[in-house]
Structure 1
Amino acid sequence: MSRLNDLAAEIAKSTEEVSEYFSTNNLPQPSFEISAPIDAFATAPSDIQNARTKAIEASIELQQLLNGNVNVMIPDTNASSMRAIYRFKIANQFPIGEEISYSELADRCDLYEHDLRRLIRYAIVRYRVFKEARKGYIQHTAASKLLAESTSIQNVMALIFEETWPANAKSGYSLANDTPLSIYSFLASHPDRAKRFSSSMATTSESGMAALAKLYDWSALSPGSTVVDVGGARGHVSAYLAQRFPHLNFVVQDLPAVVAGSEMSGEDDAVYYVPSDVIDRVTLQAHDFFTPQPIIGAAVYLIRYTLHNWSDAYAAKMLRYLVHAMAPRGQIVVQDHMLPEPGTLSLLREREIRGMDLIMLSLFNSREREEADWAGLFDMADERLKLMSAKRLEEGSASAVIVAALEG
């Protein structure tokens, strides 16, 4: 059989597994209709998730082979239609379940009808956003319904079109915003953008926290030991760990605006809080991690998804302040992305982490790191600081729990 036939067979086999799962469990099939679930696969077991991934990856390769080598290299996405839909809040201009003419919608958006029509018709065929059930009239789909109703999706759109996209186009965030400031300093003077940016990034999955609890031996720490959660927002991760390891105390450190839960921080009080059952063991402390660490001799200094936001020079500076505060047997525990060896992750996972690496470059002038890069960063901070272990959250994961300690 040819590669084309192999891929077609894989798509058919994996898709049949997925479809059978939905049918057997009387679950709604994936759909673009407004009645469709936001994520049909949210509760699907791992074997169905794997079948889904196989079908998607085989579909990508099949499409690329059929398109040919020239078309594979040429970007096929014009995101201007989605940017306009986001910018002019087009999805919010008419109710879910109703239809509207292009003429009336253009009046509501203050756009030329012919421009609106061409933007939406591209979004229909490219992104499944809206549908034209009869000529000249549009209705909502599941995707446009999300754009109209979900604040989190609107924040993601803001991140893409107001922060990431301009930075990619200009090869740098400072160039895109005509400022000598870093992204953090610039956002500090633009509170609305800062809040949207923080909200779009402030997601911590239960599985990620569970992996952190599992992949480091917290139970081996002595009773009463202190864990310092560096850059830990308002304590959601420390609270999770404190509930599972009642012999430990936690100090959560972040900038004053974040710890206070101000509008500038962009954090949601409903998500970032310390539950009453652990409030006596989880303390919030205002601290800038580019200044000397005030907690001396903690058992663990925990840093989650923070170091990848900074170039090596700044990340090493942050680590150096921790080294100066560490006890001889203290450790630094990092949960962060860890680049795979090429070809060792699934196509979708590797695309995701390589794409994130480029976002780090354009937004922060930073990078994602391979295991050897993490070892090099620790050495750059202090030649005594050594990589002790690096464990991926799960097979095929782009993230890892990385442990460093002082040698000698």
Structure 2
Amino acid sequence: MATPNVGPVTQLLTQVQRSTVKYLEYFSMHSLPEPSYKDGDGLGPNQQLPSDIEAARNSALEATEELHQLLLGPLGLILSSPGDQYLMLSIQYICRYNIAELVPLQEGTTFQAIATGAGLNLKDVTRFLRLSAAWHVFHEPARDKVVHTAASRLLINNPKLKAWIDNIAEEFWPSLARTVDATQRWPGSEEPNESGYSLGHNTDDSPFEVIKRDPLRQQRFMDVQSFSHSHHSFSIDHLLDGFDFNSVRTIVDVGGAHGKAAIALAQKYPHIEIIVQDQPQVIKGLKQHVPVDLEGRIRGMEHDFFTPQPSKDADVYLLRWVMHDWSDKYCIKILESLTPALKGGAKVVVSDICIPEPGQLSVAADRGFRQMDISMKAFNNARERDAETWAMLFERADPRYEFLGITIPQGARMAIIQAQWRGGDR
């Protein structure tokens, strides 16, 4: 008798069971409680799991998500599309009014006590918290009683997490809502002030110009970058170990902000000297971040990377987490602006996202990259790129760039993209 074909739902059930069992075995081996809404998973915010356990966790998550969507059916899949924005809305409300801090960690409180403590309308407090509780952020064990869950406890005294929430809600939401309108108004535009952000915020300036005019928004934006890169997959160690800096003597860190990459490089490679370049309002904060013992080897320089590069003859020009903020047109301009300073054999090293080819990742992993890509378009017509597009940028910037290829270190989120100047010395 022939064995019937196993359908996708059955395959996903098997994947969920196998992967979840392996993940839970790790908890048992380390005497950790099984994950729960009440107590969480017992892991630190940035705790790095063994690679096989991390893979099992991701496999289970991806399979359960795919199973969920299959069971919804085609109509249910489309009808569910507004979903998680309501979770984000409720968390925005909680953070805006510092509600998590008003709920005692042990005994909980009431909706009325929260409303009184925050000076808010009782009906609004009740509705928003019950909405959040539908996603297990807070819990209502008895009518009008509010207690913490593991998720709501994360919202207490975590300014960078709150900065991330505020940034999504205040900067990106209005942008995403108007992105399709922007494609209609400015078809094919690569200008940073012709995007969903432009329409959503009613501005003719680029998002960066808008944000930097407000010191609080500027600080929030920088906190978000720090928070977003706190996961080990964004660790600077991937760059340090994935590129051979042993023969490098001088580096220009273009758009290097407060020198996080420069400091790590200088600490690991004591023979390297580094110039960190950024806008005046950013670079003025560099000194307070550089350790005293590195002050002689790291110095700041005001520089707009769309203008000719003033620091000549360095061995490496580093662009870390810069290019994805700009459209192809402006990335080409950044690379063109480097060329007056390049000596023969100098390398341009880009540390940024490289999207794998379609079909190389799971559906869930690929979806994450596609969401990032459209978020960047909504913000200022920027984008995330695949290998072909990275090579195209260098080719169009100047044919004297020799594209050396792309590597993605094990466990890294960001690729190492290299090109070498073959134009000879100036």
TM-score by length of 2: 0.87
Moved more, 252-261 or 303-312: 252-261
State percent identity of aligned pairs. 36
After superposition, the C-alpha distances for 1:301-327 in whole angstroms (9 at most, x for unaligned) are 000010110112221111111111100
Residue aligning to 2:170: 162
TM-aligned CA distance change 1:346 to 1:274, over 3 Å = farther
User: What does 1:139-154 correspond to in 2, within 5 Å?
Assistant: 139-154=147-162
Residue aligned with 2:141, SS: strand
Q: How far, CA to CA, are the matches of 1:168 and 1:215 in structure 2? A: 35
Deviations 1:87-111 (A, max 9, x none): 2322232332232222232233344
Helix, strand or coil at the partner of 1:132:
coil
Decide whether aligned partners of structure 1 residues 178 and 32 sit closer, same or farther in structure 2, where only a CA change above 3 A counts.
Answer: same
The equivalent residue for 1:264 is none
- Kept in 1, the 8 Å contact 2:176–2:378? The answer is yes
Does the 8 Å CA contact 2:160/2:223 hold for their aligned counterparts?
Answer: yes
Per the alignment, do residues 240 and 80 of structure 1 end up closer, same or farther by CA in structure 2, a change over 3 Å counting? Answer: closer
Note the C-alpha offset of 1:162: 0.7
SS of residue paired to 1:148: coil
Root-mean-square deviation (CA, aligned residues, Å) is 2.1
Q: 2:203: which partner in 1? A: 179
Following superposition, the deviation at residue 245 of structure 1 comes to 1.9
The whole-number CA distance in structure 2 between the counterparts of 1:107 and 1:193 is 29
Determine which of 221, 224, 228 is the counterpart of 1:200.
224
1:260 positional shift: 1.7
Out of 97, 102, 110, the residue aligned to residue 93 of structure 1 is 102
User: For residue 420 of structure 2, what is the amino acid of its counterpart?
Assistant: A
Q: Are the counterparts in 1 of residues 103 and 146 from structure 2 also a CA contact under 8 Å?
A: no
CA distance in 2, matches of 1:36, 1:210: 26
Q: CA deviation at 1:41?
A: 7.7
Per-residue Cα deviation, 1:366-407 (whole angstroms, up to 9, x for no partner):
111111111111122222223211111326x55210001223
SS at match of 1:386: strand
Q: Which residue of 2 aligns with 1:363?
A: 379
Task: Report how far residue 48 of structure 1 moved.
Answer: 0.6
> Which residue matches 2:91?
82
Partners of 1:394 and 1:90 lie apart in 2 by 40
Look up the match of 1:400: 415
Q: What SS does the aligned partner of 1:140 have?
A: coil
Rounded to whole Å, the distance in 1 between the matches of 2:326 and 2:218 is 18
The 8 Å contact of residues 384 and 406 in structure 1, kept in 2 or not, is answered as yes
Q: Which residue of 1 aligns with 2:23?
A: 18
Rounded Cα–Cα distance in structure 2 between residues aligned with 1:121 and 1:268: 47
When the two structures are aligned, how many residues end up with a matched partner? Answer: 395
Contact 1:4–1:62 (Cα < 8 Å) also in 2: yes
CA contact under 8 A between 1:378 and 1:385: conserved in structure 2? yes
Given that residues 309 and 339 in structure 2 are in contact (C-alpha distance below 8 angstroms), is that contact kept between their aligned partners in structure 1?
no
Counterpart for residue 8 of structure 1? 13
Structure 1 position 57, deviation (Å)? 0.8
Partner Cα separation in structure 2 for residue 104 and residue 278 of structure 1:
52
Q: Which amino acid aligns with 2:154?
A: L
Q: Given the alignment, which residue of 183, 205, 217 partners 2:244?
A: 217
Q: Are 2:153 and 1:138 equivalent residues in the alignment?
A: no
Q: How does 1:234-245 map to 2 (within 5 A)?
A: 234-245=258-269
The TM-score normalised by the length of structure 1 is 0.91
Residues 270-309 of structure 1 aligned to structure 2 (within 5 Å): 273-309=289-325
Structure 2: unaligned runs, 5 residues or longer: 1-5, 180-195
Contact 1:386-1:404 within 8 A present in 2 as well: yes
Rounded Cα–Cα distance in structure 1 between residues aligned with 2:247 and 2:250? 13
Whole-Å separation in 2 of the counterparts to 1:162 and 1:303: 28
1:27 pairs with 2:32: yes
Letter in 2 for 1:257: Q
* Alpha-carbon contact 1:38-1:142 (below 8 Å) kept: no
Flag structure 1 segments of 5+ consecutive residues without an equivalent.
262-266
- d(CA) in 1 for partners of 2:41, 2:366: 29
Q: In structure 2, do the counterparts of structure 1 residues 244 and 41 end up closer, same or farther at CA, with 3 Å as the change threshold? A: closer
Q: Match for 1:197: what amino acid?
A: F
CA distance in 2, matches of 1:349, 1:299: 35
